[in-house]
Amino acid sequence: MRFLTATWSMVASLVVVLAMFSFAPVALGDPWSEGYTAGKEAGKKACKTELSKCISKDSASSNTTCKDCLPDGYFVTTVATTPTTGGQIGSEILTKPGDPASKAWISAAVDSKTLLDWRGVSVEREITNGYITWGYFYRRTEDGKGTDNPEIFVKVYRDKAANWTNFEFFFVSVGEIEVKSCMDSVENCTPKVAKLTEKMRYVQHHCDTASCTQKGLDSSNDKAADKTEQPDDFGDKGQQVGEFMGAKIKATIFKEGTEQPLGYVEHGSWGIFGTEDDPVVFVKLWQHTGGDIDGRIDVNFFHTSPYKIKVSSGHKLGDKFWKASSEIDDTKPGGISNRYSRHQYNTK
């Protein structure tokens, strides 16, 4: 009996070994954390700088550096890896194309434990002075509609000249959501953590080459703007006007001594003013159903620009047109941040 047990144990071990070799090549999220930090003795400096080229089976088999640095059959993937400290914190992004030092992680979690899903809308876009990545976190739903309902908007900006990065988080949800960010090249990737709520809707994590700091916590303007009956001067729906459930919105930016209209890019019940490369106002519109506020429409604006911006909205009820406007700015007297505004309309 012992002989049969030992025989079956040996057979099982052989099956496992054969299975391991039958599935090569294997993709590695981060070969350095898997024990290959030295690579092979020949050319280990190149291993550290050239691995970005070893991202597929073909490149790993044809590139000399890949063959020198990686075990046979292995290649590198862009799968999110675990920061050196702080544990897995969510989605991996690059704030500057082709620069491994710009690798960063961001996350958003409900109750500090349930990670929200990340959707990058525009990744590593170059503008005049830097690089921008933006998108949003959402709650995954069984019917697949979670992507239509952002919970946290995010904008990441890396400055070219000064080599600093800003991570901006904008809360447009209920309850409490914990946001984190860290950069692989700064402070051993120790995450910065903030808790956002309906009374604290914005935070900025600022990283330079030496450290990351948290600033810009914003509790501004969490009430509906005053609205009055006014003529409908929005005109037909076009580049400068968005519509949702009968509500109309528009925005202008105060720049270079003039007030300039901003184009609107619609994504269903949310959108942006600015461009897909560089949004300057995030917008989320929500219609309530049931209860005492059945039918009420909330129009949420989130400012992410160094310039003052005026946002306007309107809604027709019966034969009357109601309109509201707000001015949102990154700073106000006394250094108080003012990045959020909400307009509310009762539709019944």
DSSP state string for 301-332: EEE-SSS-EEEEEEEEETTEEEEEEEEEBS--
Cβ atoms of residues 200 and 219 within 8 Å: yes
pLDDT at 254: 94
pLDDT at 32: 40
pLDDT at 196: 93
Q: Distance of CA 119 to CAs 86, 93, 178, 248, Å?
A: 22, 11, 17, 26
Element (DSSP H or E) covering residue 153: strand 150-159
Q: Distance of CA 293 to CAs 283, 287, 296, 319, Å?
A: 21, 9, 6, 21
State the Cα–Cα distance between residues 171 and 320, nearest whole angstrom. Answer: 32
- Residue 298's Cβ-count burial label (10 Å; 0-12, 13-18, 19+) is middle
Ranges of H-type helices in 41-84: 44-50, 57-62, 64-69
pLDDT at 91: 83
Q: What is the mean pLDDT of each run of 10 residues along the chain (348 residues)?
A: 45 39 39 39 55 64 73 54 55 74 85 86 88 93 84 93 90 93 79 89 89 78 66 63 76 92 89 94 89 86 92 85 86 69 85
Verify cis geometry, omega within 30 degrees of 0, for the bond prior to 25.
yes
Enter the pTM of the model: 0.72
pLDDT at 16: 37
Query: Tokens 């830097």 appear where?
Result: 130
- Give the chain's largest Cα–Cα span: 93
- How would you label 41-70 residue by residue, b for 16+ Cβ within 10 Å and e otherwise? eeeeeebeebbeebebeeebeebebbebbb
pLDDT at 256: 87
Cβ atoms of residues 280 and 303 within 8 Å: yes
State the Cα–Cα distance between residues 25 and 71, nearest whole angstrom. Answer: 10
pLDDT at 300: 93
The DSSP code for 90 is S
Cβ atoms of residues 342 and 221 within 8 Å: yes
Cβ atoms of residues 37 and 83 within 8 Å: no
